Amino acid sequence: MESFDELNISKQLQYAVADLGFEKPTPIQAQSFSVIMSGTDMVGIAQTGTGKTFAYMLPILQDLKFSKQVHPRVMVLVPTRELVLQVVEEIEKFGKYSSIRVVGIYGGTNINNQKEAVAQGTDILVATPGRLYDLIISRAIQLKSIKKVVIDEVDVMLDLGFRFQLTNILELLPTKRQNIMFSATMTDDVNVFIHDFFIAPATVSVAVSGTPLENISQFAYAVPNFYTKANLLKELLQNEDDFKKVLVFVPNKKHADLLFDILDEFFGSEVAVIHSNKTQNYRIRSIENFNAEKTRILVTTDVMARGLDLDRISHVINYDTPNFPENYMHRIGRTGRAEQEGTSILFYTEKEAEAKEAIEALMDLKLEELAFPIEVEISKELTFEEQPQVIEINNPGNVDEVGPAFHDKKEKNRKENQGGSYKRIIKQKYKKPKTRGDKNYNKKKKR
Do both 223 and 160 map to the same domain?
no
**What is the per-residue pLDDT across 287-304, written as a single tens digit (0 to 9) for each?**
889 988 899 999 998 766
| Top-ranked range on mean pLDDT: pick from 21-35, 246-260, 303-317 | 246-260
pLDDT score recorded for residue 413: 66
pLDDT at 417: 64
| 3-state percent breakdown (helix, strand, coil) of the chain, nearest 5 | 40, 15, 45
10 Å CB burial of residue 350 (0-12, 13-18, 19+) is exposed
Task: Please compute the mean of the pLDDT values over residues 317-328 and round it to a whole number.
Answer: 87
Q: Give the domain-ending residue among 174, 205, 236.
A: 205
Asked whether the predicted pLDDT for residue 132 surpasses 90, the reply is yes
Taking only the tens place, the pLDDT of each residue in 72-106 is 999 999 988 888 998 999 999 988 888 889 999 99
Cα–Cα distance for residue pair 278/230, rounded to 1 Å: 22
pLDDT for the residue numbered 204: 85
Helix (H, G, I), strand (E, B) or coil at 147: coil
Asked whether residue 385 is assigned to any structural domain, the reply reads no
In a domain, 84, yes or no: yes
Residue 350, pLDDT > 90, answer yes
pLDDT of residue 302: 77
> What residues are paired with 250 via a beta bridge?
301
pLDDT at residue 209 in the model: 52
Looking at the domain assignment, is residue 376 inside a domain? no
Same domain, yes or no: 39 and 168: yes
Give the CATH number of the domain where residue 148 resides. 3.40.50.300
The string of DSSP codes covering 390-444 is PPBTTB-SS--S--TT--PPPGGG------HHIIIIIHHHHSSPPPSS-TTHHHH
Q: Can you say whether the dihedral through the CA atoms of 80, 234, 270, 268 is positive or negative? A: positive
Secondary structure in 3-state letters for 34-59: HHHHHCCCEEEECCCCCCHHHHHHHH
- 20 in the same domain as 107: yes
pLDDT at position 208 over 60: no
Instruction: For residues 77 and 75, give the distance between their C-alpha atoms in angstroms, rounded to a whole number.
Output: 7
Q: Band the pLDDT of 376: cuts 50, 70, 90.
A: very high
User: What is the H or E stretch that residue 28 is in?
Assistant: helix 27-38
pTM reported for the whole predicted model: 0.59
Among residues 81, 136, 99, the alpha carbon closest in space to that of 10 is found at 99
Q: Letter for the amino acid at 31?
A: Q
| The pLDDT of residue 436 is above 60 | no
Q: Tell me what percent of the residues of the chain surpass a pLDDT of 70.
A: 81
3-state secondary structure at position 217: strand
Question: What pairs with residue 61 in β-bridges?
Answer: none
Does the residue 427 lie in any domain?
Answer: no
Q: Which amino acid is at 100?
A: I
Residue 384 covered by a domain: no
Q: Decide if pLDDT at 147 tops 80.
A: yes
15 and 95 both lie in a single domain: yes
Query: What does the pLDDT read at residue 108?
Result: 82
Buried b (16+ CB within 10 A) or exposed e, 228-244: bbbbbbbebbeeeeebe
Q: What does pLDDT average to over the chain? A: 83
In this prediction, residue 48 carries a pLDDT of: 62
397-413 pLDDT, tens digit per residue, is: 554 444 555 556 666 66
Give the chain's domain count.
Answer: 2
Question: Is the pLDDT higher at 400 or at 315?
Answer: 315
Select from 298, 290, 255, 254 the least CA-distant residue to 273: 298
* The pLDDT value given to residue 120: 92
Greatest pairwise CA separation for the chain in angstroms = 101
Question: Is it the case that residue 111 has pLDDT exceeding 80?
Answer: yes
Spatial separation of the C-alpha atoms in residues 412 and 57, rounded to whole Å: 81
One domain, residues 351 and 244: yes
- Alpha-carbon distance of 79 to 160, in angstroms, equals 8
Confidence band (pLDDT; 50, 70, 90) for 352? very high
pLDDT greater at residue 158 or residue 433:
158
% of the chain surpassing 90 pLDDT: 40
Considering the domain boundaries, does residue 414 fall inside one? no
pLDDT of residue 296: 95
Indicate whether 438 pLDDT > 70: no
- Looking at residue 399, its pLDDT comes to 47
Domain end marker among 344, 369, 394:
369
Is 374 among the domain residues? no
Q: Where are the beta strands (DSSP E) in 159-296?
A: 178-183, 202-205, 216-222, 246-250, 271-274
pLDDT of residue 195: 86
Question: Domain range for residue 62?
Answer: 4-205
Q: Looking at the structure, do residues 89 and 112 belong to the same domain, yes or no?
A: yes
Mean pLDDT within 192-202: 86
Instruction: Say if residue 47 is in the same domain as residue 196.
Output: yes
Q: How many helices (H) and strands (E) does the chain have?
A: 18, 14
E strands, 165-242, in order = 178-183, 202-205, 216-222
> Are the C-beta atoms of 249 and 323 separated by less than 8 Å?
no
Task: Clarify whether residues 146 and 26 are in a common domain.
Answer: yes
- Output the pLDDT for position 305: 67
Whether residues 197 and 342 share a domain: the answer is: no
Which comes out higher in pLDDT, residue 350 or 304?
A: 350
Q: Is residue 24 part of a domain?
A: yes
Looking at the structure, tell me whether residues 262 and 144 fall in a common domain. Answer: no
